[in-house]
Amino acid sequence: MPQEKIKRIFRYVDVPELPELYSRLDAAIVDSNSTTASISAIIAEDTALAKCLVKLANCTLFRFSSRIETIDSAIDNIGARQIGDLALSVLILRMFDGMDPDIVSMQSYWRHSFACGITARILAAHRGEPNIERFFLAGLLHDIGGLLFYVHIPEQALMAILRARDGNGPLHHQEREIVGFDHALLGKVILQSWHLPEALQEAVEHHHTPELASTYAVEAATLHVADIIINAMQYGSRGEFIVSPVHPEAWERLGLPVSILQPTMEQIDYQFNSIVKVFFGEYCGGIV
Amino acid sequence: MTLEHVKKMDAVTPRQENEQFIYPECPQDILERVQHEMGDLFRHANHEHPMMRELHRLCIERRIRQLTRDS
């Protein structure tokens, strides 16, 4: 990305910092000497986070035959990396708690983001991807740039939404024309500043332009398709009120038959309320 | 499978004629509302792609189910 563009982005936007606890948690997860107990001890420093993760382990995302009672058990059953990604989702949600831009309702924004995360996770499961929680996180974060647009440059963001609504083309095109870059690029820059994996960065950057993704083309294609499905199902919105065309190459890249759409949509409807209830419950933020 | 089952399946399984989805057992007022909503929502979608056609069809079905359940 040209340095000039990055400078321009930071002139507009203050990127918030990730909580310090996550840096330690992430370091522990990648450290081969770590144990379940040592990872769980870091999570346990934040009681509300630990309770939220245990609740998540018992929601409809996972269907364990017996109840998960402790964070140790959640790590053993779901996986340390996966729990780390879910923890990050909770922490990010909390970071934006209290933010209330006038342009778009936060409820609508988070409904859209959560539904996209659930959909990306289901598509990844259909493909047999090893860490489907990473896709959930990618979906949750795919429009994070849009959120900072609303907070830092509300007038331009509103102008882009209105122009898109008046039929002048997709919202991200309007953003590029008005601001000089779109929410997808800003999202990538935010994830980069948080030192999150490149797969997440590239997927977020190219969720509207999956044909431009190179190393993580499947991740970008998954987000692209998930975003379209969720717009079609009208689960919230961040200002886009139409279903964008699906990029044929992205759909092909997923290697999934059209027949998976019906069970996917049924699963989304089944999982959505239960997951949102956990994330927005007393331990996880309570934004909505 | 009973006749009732077949009827229920018919109610949510549309026939497609001239690119229009036909839902024979859906009340006319609900059908018109859904077609209007979905037509607007999918106005820029690429219907030549089979995934998009199926998504549009499923969304019409889902919306009809939501509205008939609520009415």
Q: Does B59 touch chain A (CB under 8 A)?
A: yes
Closest-approach residue (CA) in chain B for A225: B51
CB distance A229–B45 less than 8 Å? no
From the CA of A233, how many Å to the nearest CA of chain B? 6
Phi, psi (rounded to 5 degrees) for B17: -125, 125
CB distance B49–A234 less than 8 Å? no
CB distance A245–B59 less than 8 Å? no
Lowest mean pLDDT among A31-45, A211-225, B23-37: B23-37
Q: Is residue A268 in a domain?
A: yes
From the candidates B37, B48, B58, which should be mutated to test the interface with A, based on the most A CB atoms within 10 A? B58
CA A114 to chain centre: 7
Question: Would you tell me how many other CB atoms lie within 10 Å of the CB of residue A108?
Answer: 15
- Which of B41, B46, B58 has the CB atom closest to A261's CB atom? B58
Reported ipTM: the value is: 0.85
Q: Is residue A10 in a domain?
A: no
The pLDDT assigned to B9 comes to 43
- pLDDT band at residue A258, thresholds of 50, 70 and 90? very high
At A149-188, the pLDDT tens digits run 888 888 888 899 889 888 788 889 999 999 888 999 999 9
- Which of B50, B51, B62 has the CB atom closest to A265's CB atom? B62
Q: Is residue A67 in a domain?
A: yes
Q: Is residue A134 in a domain?
A: yes
Q: Is residue A6 in a domain?
A: no
Number of domains in chain A: 1
The pLDDT assigned to A31 comes to 95
CB distance A245–B58 less than 8 Å? no
Q: Is the pLDDT of residue A104 over 80?
A: no
The pLDDT assigned to B3 comes to 37
The pLDDT assigned to A210 comes to 97
Q: Is residue A64 in a domain?
A: yes
CB distance A258–B62 less than 8 Å? no
From the CA of B3, how many Å to the nearest CA of chain A? 24
B contact residues 15-54, partner A, Cβ 8 Å cutoff: 40-46, 49-52, 54
The pLDDT assigned to B68 comes to 86
Closest-approach residue (CA) in chain B for A243: B42
User: Residues B26-53: what's their mean pLDDT?
Assistant: 92
- pLDDT band at residue A142, thresholds of 50, 70 and 90? very high
- pLDDT band at residue A30, thresholds of 50, 70 and 90? very high
- Which of A170, A243, A262 has the CB atom closest to B41's CB atom? A243
Task: Count how many pairs of residues, chain A against chain B, have C-beta atoms within 8 Å.
Answer: 55
8 A C-beta contact, residue A216 and residue A202: yes
The pLDDT assigned to A242 comes to 86
Alpha helices in A101-215, H assignment, sequence order: 106-127, 132-141, 144-152, 154-165, 171-179, 183-193, 198-205
- pLDDT band at residue B59, thresholds of 50, 70 and 90? very high
Instruction: Give me A33's structure tokens.
Output: 């000497």
DSSP result, A80-130: HHHHHHHHHHHHHHHHTTT---SSS-HHHHHHHHHHHHHHHHHHHHHHT-S
Closest-approach residue (CA) in chain A for B41: A242
Angle in degrees, CA A223, A146, A56, rounded to 5:
55
Q: Which CATH number belongs to the domain containing residue A159 in this structure?
A: 1.10.3210.10
Q: Is residue A40 in a domain?
A: yes
**In which domain, by residue range, is A245 found?**
16-279
Q: Is residue A169 in a domain?
A: yes
From the CA of B2, how many Å to the nearest CA of chain A? 23
The pLDDT assigned to A251 comes to 98
Entry field: residues in chain A: 288
CB distance A232–B42 less than 8 Å? yes
